[in-house]
Structures are given as structure tokens and as C-alpha cells.
Amino acid sequence: MAIQNRGPELCRHIRALNPLIHHITNTVTINDCANMTLALGASPVMADSPDEAAEMAKLAQALVLNIGTLHKETIEAMVAAGSAANEAGIPVVFDPVGAGATPFRLQACREILKHVRPAVIRGNMSEIKALAGLKANAKGVDSGDDMENAAAVGTRVAEETGAVVAVTGPVDVITDGRRVVYIFNGHPMMAKVTGTGCVSNSLIAGFLAVTPDALEAAGAGLTLMGLAGERGVARLTEGEGTGTLRVRLIDAVYELSHAEEWKGANWHERRVED
């Protein structure tokens, strides 16, 4: 089924299930992640203490691990929650924010991936290159690399980790090592709003709660985010900018999650060997 119809169908399942999405995430964007989860029809919880992270993960239908604001206690909580989720068969989304920007972040990624098997890894090109062991040009938590060879680099990380890898940028590239999906939705203005990647993780996790196909879940989440960006920018009026867009993105996800069809979804899939 085409994503134009499959996405809305999955959204109906999300609203019916109201899955609990556990986040250990970036404190800069935690409120936006919670609101975006609610807009999709899921239920957010943000329990980042090592004392309860594992127990909360077992109660959830999906788990988001985002190292945006990283501390030693965060790593401990993520390993505990991720391991518990793996044991319970609960899918995990991992966001290696700023991987390669500092040795501490890259080592944290390696430690988490040593103990946790994500269903989806979502990051920008610099972050995914760092995970692949390649030279990356991270600008703090932003990418300093273009998207050239994104499919090949993503495939390499997918093969090494067993995860679906989503490389987000002007065109999102998603691969499970066999299939590659290109998503052409979105708007450049989205890059000026803090946390669009973080909230995309929440959307992906929501879809993972209702489909066992991690590539489909990642694709649906990023397609929905791209469509929301296009809709949000189109509805800006004179005098409105990135602050208003931040709110419009949440509104657009709520609206699109109730739509019967995702008109304008621009998704292309091929096999890796093609």
C-alpha cells in the first residue's frame, strides 16, 4: 500500500492504541517531543532517572533514546532502559546527537550500541558518518557534511547494527541494508527550528508501536514530519517566522494524523543493489 494511504491507516491504529512512548531525550526539546507525541495520538512519558528508566521502558510500546544533552547518568539510564526494552521486545529509536563532535559523545554512542539494539537509528549525515567510523565534519549538533553517499553510509551502519538507519537532511534517506527509501518532503525553513529531528524521533516511535516494519515506521514518521513542515510554512502569514512555525508543526501533525490521505507525500523506494 502506498504511503499516502498507509500512513493515515497507521495513524488510526496509533489513536486507537494510544501507545506509551518512553523518552530519555534532549532537555532542550523535551516539551516539543511530548506535544508532538500527543498530536500523533500517542502518550508521552519522560523518565530519565537510572532508578526507574528500565521499569518505565517495560511499560511502554516504544522507547526513544536521544543523547542531545548528555551526562554520565544519562548513559546509565539509556543502557538500562534500552536493555530492558530489548528484553521485552519493545522497539527503540536511537538518536546519536552530535556523534563525533566530541570523543565523549562518540564513546557514549558506542557504549549504548554495545548494550542496546535499536530498531531505528536516526541522525544527520555527520552523525551517521561518525557511527560508521568515517571522518565527519560535525558543527556541534548540526551536520557539516553533504548528503553524498548517504545510502551507502547508512547501509554500512545498518549492516553493522542491524537497525534501520535514517539519514535526515534536505532529502531523507532510510535503509535497512536491503531497501532504500528517499523522502523528498519538507522545507528548508524547518532547519531553523530547534528540535525538528528530536520530534521526528517521537513520530517514528509512535509508528513503531503499531507496525513491525521498522523501515515503514521510519518512513512514515519522516514523511509526516516533512508534510507538516510544508503545511506549516505555507500557512505562515506576514510577520510570522520560525517561532510560529514551531507551533504550526505540531498543529499540522495533529491535522495530518486525522487525514484520510497524505496528499503530496513524496516517497521513492529501491533495492540496495539497484
Instruction: For residues 253 and 76, give the distance between their C-alpha atoms in angstroms, rounded to a whole number.
Output: 32
Average pLDDT, whole number, for the chain?
Answer: 93
Instruction: For residues 63 and 240, give the distance between their C-alpha atoms in angstroms, rounded to a whole number.
Output: 34
Question: What pLDDT digit, counting tens, does each position of 47-91 carry?
Answer: 999 999 999 999 999 999 999 999 999 999 999 999 999 999 999
Q: Tell me the average pLDDT across 231-257.
A: 96
Question: What pLDDT digit, counting tens, does each position of 176-233 carry?
Answer: 999 999 999 999 999 999 999 999 999 999 999 999 999 999 999 999 999 999 999 9
Residue carrying the nine cell digits 564513546? 107
Domain locations along the chain: 3-260
Residue 261 pLDDT exceeds 60: yes
> Looking at 1-10, 28-37, 65-74, which range is the least confident one?
1-10
CATH 3.40.1190.20 at 3-260, yes or no:
yes
pLDDT (0 to 100) of residue 101:
82
Query: Counting beta carbons within 10 angstroms of the beta carbon of residue 171, is it exposed (0 to 12), middle (13 to 18) or buried (19 or more)?
Result: middle
Q: Which residues of 63-81 are buried (b: 16+ CB within 10 A; e: fewer)?
A: bbbbbbebeeebbebbbbb
Report H helices in the chain. Answer: 3-17, 30-40, 53-59, 72-88, 103-115, 125-131, 150-161, 196-208, 214-234, 242-257
pLDDT tier, 121 (very low <50, low <70, confident <90, very high otherwise): very high
The model's pTM = 0.95
The three grid cell numbers given for residue 177, joined into one nine-digit string: 541494508
pLDDT (0 to 100) of residue 2:
77
The answer to whether 126 and 143 are in contact (CB under 8 A) is yes
Residue 6 pLDDT exceeds 70: yes
